[in-house]
Chain A
Amino acid sequence: MATTEVARPIARTAPTGRRYRRALTHSILPRFVLILFCLIFIAPFYWMVVSSLKSVQEASAFPPTLIPQAWRWQNFIDAINYIPFGLYAINSLVITVGATIGAVLSNTLIAYGFSRIQWPGRNKVFYICVATIFLPYPVVLVALFDIFSKLPSFGIQGGHSWINTFLPLIVPAFFGNPFYIFLMRQFMMGIPKELSDAARVDGASELQTFWHVILPLTRPAVTVIGILAAVAAWNEFLLPLLYLQENDKYPLAIGLAFFTSEHDVAYNLLMAASTLIVLPVVVVFILAQRYFIEGITVGGVKG
């Protein structure tokens, strides 16, 4: 005991220079770099929020003010009234919910077929499925538009065809997405085979095994897919731009463009509306952070 008591202060004082350097390279320098990167990543969003709180004059003043002189919360109310914000929000929500339900239902079923049943040719078909990730979607844009313009909508949303309805934005989600299939398959492969075998011995059909045994165990992966699909649908721009042609069917993504199509652009209101559209995604992220991270690391470890 005595020796250590004596030895400690010596050990502590001797290499102060090295300890200082260690603190610098292991604590101060990394933090400095990390905080610098963070500031760069936050800057556009800081500017979005700050601009959304300025008056029109202040928003277009030169040089710009870094903090609003007077915080105009009124801008958010003005932005909501400038476009039919509520209607567009409902449209966005309907599309998002529809596409999310489709993604969850289809990708769990498909992944089950690719992971829990051993059928001849399975892996080859799966490779084809994954390979389609690499194909740029816009290649089929023109042809798909023409195909959808010939499909009957049976009166849904008053359309003669799928054009100008939500169908092209929702229905394809019910047919799976190779990335989500890959993700869900990875997860289902991790469930012990014995569980399925036991269910089979008990006389369960494949559908019953899927529903009662496997699906309850995949809840984390289902959540990952649900969240990713919902965010993707909320963020989609090109497809609603193509398929929706009437004002009252637009989602928020398209509605936002109305702030710039006028002669003088109300940038403060545009930024206020952008903040409102971004906000739900931020909230979902804060509540479900670990699911996002899980989705990335499972999907990304092996391409």
Chain B
Amino acid sequence: MAVAARTTNTAQTARPSRFNLGKIERRNLSWGLFFISPWLIGFLVFGILPIVYTFYLSLTRYSGLRDAVFIGINNYTRLAADPLFWKAATVTLNYTVLAVPIGVVVAMLLAIAMNQKVREVTIYRAIFYLPSILPVFAISFVFVVFLNPGYGLVNWFLSSLGLPSPNWLGDPHYTIMALVLIAQLGAGQWALVFLAGLRGIPTELYESAEIDGAGAVRKFISITLPLMTPVILYDIIIGLSFGLQVFTSAYILTGGGTRGAAGPDNSLLTYVYFIYQQAFQFGQMGYAAALSVVLFVVSLLLAGAVFRWARGWVFYGAEEA
């Protein structure tokens, strides 16, 4: 009663079901909001506000120095006609289409290898995992040397096997492959996630399959793969998001933009690299904001499409088991 009396002067009492919280609930709500307030403020200031601001900037001509001038959808018509925009979109798409499936396969192979009952498996686990926490910028510099056709180890190895030795960073057909290779050094992290998934599969399933005479391949296709689909989906979603963001490795493989173009035939001009160029090298903040909006929308659409597509193949039955 005391609570009701205290709140009579507010409009909330008119809608008792939702807003008339008990004393403890209200106390908890204010404490809860107090504790999460750093995130709440950060979400508004570093998340919502910049996104709204990006939408606004995308409708202006803005160099960062003078005031923004409203120009409607000009930036969007401009990007639709900009061959470099399509180049950057193609490069990023090609990269993502290669890097995500290869990443899933490599992580799965590593996880299966790590799941073998070998005594010193923790050593292998450490070796696979360690590269994934090393700085990508340093790894990229290492790959400039590692993949060099003249004094790199990779081409020395390929030519000693009698295989052709590609000019990884000079031939536009191979530059994306170089980025994909660099990304694979991060596979150890995903392999551990996959390994946790593998360990979660009940052994009885394999035992009864063996009784039915199933071989290793059959067990993998009929048991391991279906039960791993939630983890694979998780990898694809995060991999997709990271794939669209790829920047550091491309930037460093091109020599940090010191050689003008982003790699031979702009073959390393990833989408974020393009945004970076437009905003921070050419002072086209408005245009770069429009590019950011496109990235935002495409990421949302792609994530949505993957989730929808996943309904057909992700197996959630194991969770109750």
The interface of chain A, by Cβ under 8 A from chain B, is 26-27, 30-31, 33-35, 37-38, 41-48, 51, 59-64, 66, 106, 109-110, 112-114, 117-120, 122, 125, 128-129, 132-147, 149, 172, 174-176, 178, 181, 206, 210, 231, 234-235, 237-238, 241-242, 253, 256-257, 259-261, 267, 270-271, 274, 277-278, 281-282, 285, 289, 292-293, 296-297, 300-301, 303
Contact = CB atoms under 8 A, between A and B. Distances in A.
A138 B272 contact: yes
Nearest to A267: B145
Looking at chain B's contact residues, is the secondary structure mostly helix, strand, loop, or mixed? Answer: helix
Given A48-B145, A267-B144, A303-B234, 9 more contacts: A106-B42, A113-B37, A117-B28, A119-B29, A128-B43, A143-B57, A271-B142, A281-B133, A285-B126
A297 B192 contact: yes
B174 interface: no
What 10 pairs across the A-B complex have the smallest Cβ distances? Answer: A175-B42, A113-B35, A300-B193, A119-B32, A303-B234, A30-B116, A143-B50, A140-B50, A235-B135, A113-B36
A33 B110 CA distance: 9
A259 B42 CA distance: 37
Interface stretch (B3-11, B83-91, B151-159, B217-225): B151-159
A143 B49 CA distance: 9
B137 A237 contact: yes
A236 B17 CA distance: 48
Interface stretch (B97-105, B205-213, B240-248, B261-269): B240-248
A160 to B, nearest CB: 13
Measured as residues with beta carbon below 8 angstroms from the partner, the interface class of chain B is: 35 or more
Given A37-B110, A297-B196, A285 B117 contact: no
Interface in B131-163: 131, 133-139, 141-146, 150-154, 156, 159
B318 interface: no
A64 B57 contact: no
Contacts of A66: 153, 156
Looking at chain A's contact residues, is the secondary structure mostly helix, strand, loop, or mixed? Answer: helix
27 contacts: A37-B109, A38-B128, A45-B131, A64-B153, A66-B156, A109-B35, A112-B35, A119-B29, A120-B29, A135-B47, A136-B296, A137-B245, A141-B276, A142-B275, A175-B38, A175-B42, A235-B133, A235-B134, A237-B135, A238-B276, A256-B137, A260-B258, A271-B142, A282-B130, A282-B134, A293-B129, A293-B192
A274 B138 contact: yes
B289 interface: yes
Given A64-B156, A140-B47, A267-B145, A172 B42 contact: yes
B307 to A, nearest CB: 10
Given A38-B128, A175-B41, A242-B280, A139 B134 contact: no
